[in-house]
Structure 1
Amino acid sequence: ASLVVDLQWEKNNMDHHTEVFREDGLIVRRGQPFIITLDLTSTTNLQQKLNKSKLSAQTGPSPAASSGTKISMGLNGEKEDSGWSAAASLKGNTISLKVCPSPSASIGKYSLALSDPSKQEADLGKFVLLFNPWCPDDTVYMEKKEEREEYVLSQDGIIYGGDAKNITHWAWNFGQFESGVLKASLKILNESLQHKKNADKDCSKRNDPIYVTRVLSAMVNANDDSGVLSGRWSGNYDGGVDPSKWTGSVEILRQWHDSNCKSVRYGQCWVFAGVGCTVARALGIPCRLITNFESAHDTNGDLKIETYVREDGRMVKESVMCCGPVPVKAIKIGDLTCQYDAAFVYAEVNADIITTFKLYDGLERNVVNKITVGQNISTKSIGKDAREDVTHLYKYEEGLALERQSYMHAQVCQELDLCFEDHGEIMKGSDFVLNVTVTNKTSAVKSIKLQFTSGGMFYNGKPDNETIQVYAGEHSISPGKVLKIPLKHRYLKYAPLLSTGSQLQVWALLTDMDTDARLLEKHYVSFKDPKINIKVTGNQRVGHASLVKLSVENPLPETLQECWFSIEGANLTHGEKPTRRILNVGPKETATAKFYFTPTQSGLRKLLVIFSSTKLGHIKSYVNLSISK
């Protein structure tokens, strides 16, 4: 008898919240039933045969019942020891099979087969099984609908950057449902070291979201074989893409998959995080992207962060390592016995900062500064484009810790105070003055030495070796008085930083000439980008073309070269990034471009825009669009 199988993937995918995938085929979630139908030409003794038939589901290259990667089910609807169940109903010559995967089943690609009492087996087709945040019995369950909407279904988001006092943001296209992304996400699991060592053991452990995220954490970076992204922080991105050019994960994952798993060049922290978030959401693991300002890296496990600086203020040593995943609660309460680098993550948000100065005479001296590790820990709010401060989830409010730090500070230099004045936003291309004040808190005249160094710094705290300005001077301050030193910065001096995406970092070292006590202060200057004007016209409807017009003014006193605009958006540009190159743009001139795009799904979407040039670097913006059916 011939057999016609209908996986009913369109209806099943709708029921399982997977219809948004731009993929054909059955994609279901664990702990939730799906129905397929079988049409047969012969119905002889069919009910009898069904009573004795078995349905099997298997995953991985070497499926085995002992590891839970090969599951056998009767068709009576009873739950098997594996947690899976199947029920058959017969109507005429059509069999309906209701299959319910275990809520603790391994995720991945599965094949289904039906065997009759004579052991003849019929292939019923393949499906992909994902984690299920809608299922209360699944370990990734999220009770609140709005949280599932944001952390599983939302295809775009906001990334925060800059520094703790000048927080900037830009949009990111996660695009977890775009074509090719799920395929790449599953490929990432199969390319892991764990899978290559023991494929069946790896597949059996894919029932655990902690295990899966651990694999993803290792595989997103190219430190491991076949990792998705190569990191680079040097400012030289020859042979690859400047990390700040990326506006989403889709292009990266497609390139990695289509190049036979050759690592994509290059990424930095937000790119790694964006890609990791995309893959997690694609697999059904709720995920959000967090920015930790003044993040520290404890590489020796003693919860002290050691920075080595020359006496002229330039950093000479910096260390980085990767980690995770770790429960947020364990970080807050300081449970450093928790698996997977808990101590390292704890130190990211709670640590002592000790700066060791290497003096010109070769001696070393420790200086305690006033920097607080783990500030303004930020993420996108649920359902809106506002910043949510989640610092309280990772650490307790500063209280005793600050008092202890103040005590240590007082031991070092209790008679003088050093600080930078707030300078507000600084537009790229502007000259500006940064004021530093020193307060004499004693009743005697103080003789001091002040040293300043301005230089470029990448977002991860590593200097880019671009020294902008150096100052050194000796002063006397009367009792109770305040000395103000203006540090003038010219555009032509800091211009090289703009094209590399570096911040301007200023170190200030105050030395009390009477006691030889030292006080250190560090300040960041983030430059404001010119605004990209975005105007969308036409019907924002599924299947209808819309026009977007873009313009941006050059704020610099020199001509911009190698200029281009690009757009990207989930369900707006088909996972592509159309680009328009334009002519050079002179000072105060306006660059313009226009694009057409055709939405493929309704709902609230973000259209991401980037303008790039040799002098300004990469400027990003976005607009929210409500797409109707």
Structure 2
Amino acid sequence: MDVFKLKSVDLQSAKNQFNHKTNGLSSSTLVLRRGQAFQILLSFDGRAFDPRQDKLVFHVVLGPLSVELPVSGRPVSRTREPSTMQWSATLERGIPNPNSPRTISVSVLSTPSASVGVYSLSLRAETRTSVSTHSLGQFTMLCNPWCQGDSVFLSPEELRDEYVRSDFGLIFKGAPSNCVSRPWSFGQYERGILDICMKLLELSPQYLTDRRRDLLNRSNPVYIGRVISAMVNSQDDRGVLMGKWSGEYRGGVNPSTWSGSADILRKWSESQFRPVKYGQCWVFAAVMCTVMRALGIPTRVVTNFSSAHDTDGNMVIEEYYSELGEKLSLSRDSIWNFHVWVESWMKRPDLGQRFDGWQVLDPTPQEISAGMYRCGPAALKAIHDRSVEAQYDVPFIYAAVNADVRTMIVRDGEVLSSETDTRRVGSLICTKSPGSMQMLNITSQYKTETAYRPSSEESTRVTPKDVVVSLYLLKTPVVRQNIIFNVTVTNNESTHKELKAHVNAQNKEYNSNPTNTFWEAHYDLKLAPKEARTFKHEIVSSDYASKEVSEDYLVNLAVVIEDMKTQKRTLASQEFNIISPTLTIQIANENSVVVNTHQVGMVTFTSPFAVPVNGELTVMGSGLLEENIQTRLTLKPGETMKRPVQFTPEMTGFKMLQASLVLTNLSSVLHGFKTINVKQA
């Protein structure tokens, strides 16, 4: 019988995705990593394949790009990798299957620099008498941090587990003196998320303007990073998120209530790619981390505390206070209490090997880079070494972590006093530590000097010759509790001092100057030579409570001491966040949680508030729960909430079950989380 006809094709999705470490990624296609071979089984009717008279040619297509791969008739050993300089298709050597004598296995190998995208695959079978073409389906090609030839290669394995495969993390917020962490679900394994990430590439202005050029450039993670940085925000494209930093959030979602990226990406996709309302810096960064990890580019979320926004590029942030201690909005410069961006790991052939490694990418729309709202990738080593000529956007990030702060007390346009602080900006730069839920301080990777970090109690001090003033919190401020602090004034001279004290407290957003003064105190004091006196102050909680739901209650506290004789003024200030209580999550038999087996958890919280509270509890867990669980509840003062959670893990490895409680009458968001090691059955 001389009939030679393709009967069936098996792309061996489960086997290939396990080998390519893409198992768990949800896509309508086979998901592969570049620079690594994958196997295809071909079965034929009639006679077996004869490489002497038959020819098989794979056709791989990505938009207008294509490559033909004739199947080499000479089998190759599994122990020897074919050339990685070009795509190839070769017969595999193996023991013939007596049950399927007309089945062959072909190994297809892509290059380590293959473009990221969704490919079509077809096969042309040629004999002496016939030619037939068969569509085999599609596959999605990702970057490969396990392949040494890939420019995103990262070693060791625990770092790839953390920065590529992990689907949860921590985001650090607040102020450097009392920062807090909140859980986030990156959710790259959730249903349809990878396909949405690929769609994000296809909707970019670069792709829509010149498909061929865009697809060719997608071989380079530097280019991909710039595209994603622009597409996560919606300033100048059909991007994912619209930003909003103040006021009401009608028509959208308060950024403080987001807990994961998957909900945001799905909302964007289901709305026919209209921007999701609303995001702030940590939301932009977390969504970008999800997309980059899904694409195979190692990425981590980074927080820069006391982050400078130097609008005039002079590396100096000007801050102004009134003589009564009120911080004034007289400058376009600003210092955000914190700002969140991402770092992605990649080589920089455009800059040279010295700048390989972590690269800063910032999707929050602040500055235009080459005509679009995006930032980076800025090589971390270039920031550290002040190589501001290295593209992209190094000067902006360098200023964000290194600018000086000039603080002035003014009256009627006249500067009464001035001090410069060279250590405050970028005082703490951190990320989640690999393999744990602790903070990793990476300040030294950005700054040449040892990082300055105020203690948990003491503020930055300005020390003139004659009078010293300082303020410090007596306890960590907690939502709905009073703020208690001391002001200490010291006379360093040998003469009596008659002084006036002006103490001022203002609400503030984390990314802007304070707004209204909600509390103030003014009093006279006399100090003997070399005398120091301490004054205790207490601000009741009703004075600082915000109307808008927020997880970041931030306060600017300042004291100005006025010398009645010399008219000199001395300032001390501190910005701090008021932390929220946390939820507790416990897992029954947490040391024996098994995949595909029913499990039970419990979310508990005892209300410390003096008034009844009401709100909505949301429990989520990527790989643990198919859908978020939401419950409305009301708690009396001192009442304990206990909510059982039933879940069935779908994947092995470390997963995170998290809960958030949005209190509507107290305008606060509470969080809790539990990491779970899901084991094989």
| Structure 1 segment 181-260 matched on structure 2, within 5 A | 181-260=193-272
**Is there any run of 5+ residues in structure 2 with no aligned partner, and where?**
334-365, 368-373, 455-460
User: Aligned pair in 2 of structure 1 residues 315, 236: CA closer, same or farther (>3 Å)?
Assistant: farther
1:558 to 611, 618, 628: 611
1:439 CA drift (Å): 2.1
| Structure 1 segment 336-485 matched on structure 2, within 5 A | 336-359=388-411, 361-364=412-415, 367-370=418-421, 372-398=424-450, 413-463=464-514, 465-485=515-535
* Amino acid of the structure 1 residue aligned with 2:67: I
1:199 CA drift (Å): 1.7
1:366 CA drift (Å): 6.8
* Amino acid of the structure 2 residue aligned with 1:21: L
Instruction: Indicate conservation of the 8 Å contact 1:318/1:462, yes or no.
Output: no
Matched, 1:150 2:203: no
Instruction: Indicate conservation of the 8 Å contact 1:548/1:596, yes or no.
Output: yes
- Equivalent residue of 1:567, what SS? strand
TM-score, normalised by the number of residues in structure 1? 0.90
Matched, 1:9 2:61: no
* Amino acid of the structure 2 residue aligned with 1:610: S
In structure 2, distance between residues paired with 1:331 and 1:398: 15
| Structure 1 segment 483-522 matched on structure 2, within 5 A | 483-496=533-546, 499-500=549-550, 501-522=552-573
Which residue of structure 2 lines up, in the alignment, with residue 548 of structure 1? 601
More helix by share: 1
Instruction: Indicate conservation of the 8 Å contact 1:35/1:97, yes or no.
Output: yes
In structure 2, distance between residues paired with 1:194 and 1:549: 48
1:305 CA drift (Å): 2.0
Which residue of structure 2 lines up, in the alignment, with residue 19 of structure 1? 23
In structure 2, distance between residues paired with 1:607 and 1:318: 41
- Equivalent residue of 1:166, what SS? coil
1:285 CA drift (Å): 0.4
CA RMSD of aligned residues (A): 2.7
- Equivalent residue of 2:510, what SS? coil
User: Aligned pair in 2 of structure 1 residues 120, 593: CA closer, same or farther (>3 Å)?
Assistant: same
Instruction: Indicate conservation of the 8 Å contact 1:533/1:552, yes or no.
Output: yes
| Structure 1 segment 4-403 matched on structure 2, within 5 A | 4-23=8-27, 25-43=29-47, 46-48=50-52, 50-51=54-55, 53-60=56-63, 63=64, 69-76=65-72, 83-88=86-91, 92-116=101-125, 120-312=132-324, 313-316=326-329, 317-318=331-332, 320-321=366-367, 323-359=375-411, 361-364=412-415, 367-370=418-421, 372-398=424-450
1:237 CA drift (Å): 1.5
In structure 2, distance between residues paired with 1:350 and 1:218: 25
In structure 1, distance between residues paired with 2:644 and 2:429: 37
Instruction: Indicate conservation of the 8 Å contact 2:39/2:105, yes or no.
Output: yes
Instruction: Indicate conservation of the 8 Å contact 1:377/1:390, yes or no.
Output: yes
Instruction: Indicate conservation of the 8 Å contact 1:295/1:349, yes or no.
Output: yes
User: Aligned pair in 2 of structure 1 residues 81, 7: CA closer, same or farther (>3 Å)?
Assistant: closer
Q: Which moved more, 1:308-317 or 1:173-182?
A: 308-317
In structure 1, distance between residues paired with 2:638 and 2:414: 51
1:155 CA drift (Å): 1.1
1:8 CA drift (Å): 0.6
Instruction: Indicate conservation of the 8 Å contact 1:367/1:519, yes or no.
Output: no
- CA deviation vs aligned residue, 1:531-575 (integer Å, no higher than 9, x gap): 3232333673322322322222222222213x121111121112x
Instruction: Indicate conservation of the 8 Å contact 2:35/2:84, yes or no.
Output: no
Matched, 1:594 2:644: yes
Identity of paired residues, percent? Answer: 33
In structure 2, distance between residues paired with 1:86 and 1:143: 28
In structure 1, distance between residues paired with 2:107 and 2:37: 6
More strand by share: 2
User: Aligned pair in 2 of structure 1 residues 58, 478: CA closer, same or farther (>3 Å)?
Assistant: farther
User: Aligned pair in 2 of structure 1 residues 362, 21: CA closer, same or farther (>3 Å)?
Assistant: same
TM-score, normalised by the number of residues in structure 2? 0.83
Instruction: Indicate conservation of the 8 Å contact 2:562/2:569, yes or no.
Output: yes
User: Aligned pair in 2 of structure 1 residues 325, 446: CA closer, same or farther (>3 Å)?
Assistant: farther
**Is there any run of 5+ residues in structure 1 with no aligned partner, and where?**
64-68, 403-408
1:512 CA drift (Å): 4.2
In structure 2, distance between residues paired with 1:594 and 1:527: 29
Instruction: Indicate conservation of the 8 Å contact 2:500/2:562, yes or no.
Output: yes
In structure 2, distance between residues paired with 1:288 and 1:586: 40
Instruction: Indicate conservation of the 8 Å contact 1:84/1:100, yes or no.
Output: yes
In structure 2, distance between residues paired with 1:531 and 1:548: 16
* Amino acid of the structure 1 residue aligned with 2:69: M
In structure 2, distance between residues paired with 1:462 and 1:265: 24
Which residue of structure 1 lines up, in the alignment, with residue 370 of structure 2? none
1:420 CA drift (Å): 1.4
Instruction: Indicate conservation of the 8 Å contact 2:248/2:548, yes or no.
Output: no
In structure 1, distance between residues paired with 2:678 and 2:276: 32
Instruction: Indicate conservation of the 8 Å contact 2:444/2:451, yes or no.
Output: no
1:318 CA drift (Å): 4.8
1:121 CA drift (Å): 3.3
In structure 2, distance between residues paired with 1:138 and 1:298: 36
In structure 2, distance between residues paired with 1:366 and 1:108: 59
User: Aligned pair in 2 of structure 1 residues 45, 175: CA closer, same or farther (>3 Å)?
Assistant: closer
* Amino acid of the structure 2 residue aligned with 1:302: N
Which residue of structure 1 lines up, in the alignment, with residue 663 of structure 2? 613
User: Aligned pair in 2 of structure 1 residues 210, 308: CA closer, same or farther (>3 Å)?
Assistant: farther
- CA deviation vs aligned residue, 1:34-58 (integer Å, no higher than 9, x gap): 011222224487424554x432212
In structure 1, distance between residues paired with 2:593 and 2:451: 51
1:81 CA drift (Å): 9.6
In structure 2, distance between residues paired with 1:475 and 1:595: 58
In structure 1, distance between residues paired with 2:563 and 2:392: 44
- CA deviation vs aligned residue, 1:98-131 (integer Å, no higher than 9, x gap): 1111101111101112234577532222100000
1:532 to 555, 580, 583: 583
Instruction: Indicate conservation of the 8 Å contact 2:580/2:668, yes or no.
Output: no
Instruction: Indicate conservation of the 8 Å contact 1:159/1:171, yes or no.
Output: yes
- Equivalent residue of 2:434, what SS? coil
User: Aligned pair in 2 of structure 1 residues 564, 511: CA closer, same or farther (>3 Å)?
Assistant: same
1:96 CA drift (Å): 2.2
1:356 CA drift (Å): 4.8
Q: Which moved more, 1:146-155 or 1:91-100?
A: 91-100
In structure 1, distance between residues paired with 2:425 and 2:522: 28
Q: Which moved more, 1:86-95 or 1:340-349?
A: 86-95
- Equivalent residue of 2:21, what SS? coil
In structure 2, distance between residues paired with 1:49 and 1:21: 40
* Amino acid of the structure 2 residue aligned with 1:145: E
- CA deviation vs aligned residue, 1:392-440 (integer Å, no higher than 9, x gap): 111122499x9xxxxxx98x93333222124232332222321122222
User: Aligned pair in 2 of structure 1 residues 229, 178: CA closer, same or farther (>3 Å)?
Assistant: same
1:490 CA drift (Å): 0.4
User: Aligned pair in 2 of structure 1 residues 122, 611: CA closer, same or farther (>3 Å)?
Assistant: same
- Equivalent residue of 1:238, what SS? coil
- Equivalent residue of 2:267, what SS? helix
